[in-house]
Amino acid sequence: MKRSILVVDDDTRILGSLSRALAGDVDEVRTAESGEEALQKLASSPAAVALVDLKMPGMDGLELLRL
């Protein structure tokens, strides 16, 4: 099974930093800038782990995790 992480944050600098930091430890690091984008990506390809920012405009991290 592919070890993948989905990082969700509305701050692109944080997305880039976390992606680089995690890249050597898993098979794939994907990113999303919103809860809605994360749901779309998860629908097409599940992730083993999601690292989610709790405070985002629109759908916040807690709402995303409940879905």
**The 49-52 sheet, strands edge to edge:** 28-32, 4-8, 49-52
- Residue 1: pLDDT over 90: no
> Quick one: pLDDT band at residue 67, thresholds 50, 70, 90?
confident
- Each residue of 41-65: pLDDT tens digit? 999 999 999 999 999 999 999 999 9
- Each residue of 8-32: pLDDT tens digit? 999 999 999 999 999 988 999 999 9
Q: How far is CA 9 from CA 1, 2, in A?
A: 25, 22
Q: How far is CA 27 from CA 19, 24, 30, 39, 58, in A?
A: 12, 8, 10, 20, 30
Give the ranges where the chain is alpha helix by DSSP (H): 12-22, 35-44, 61-66
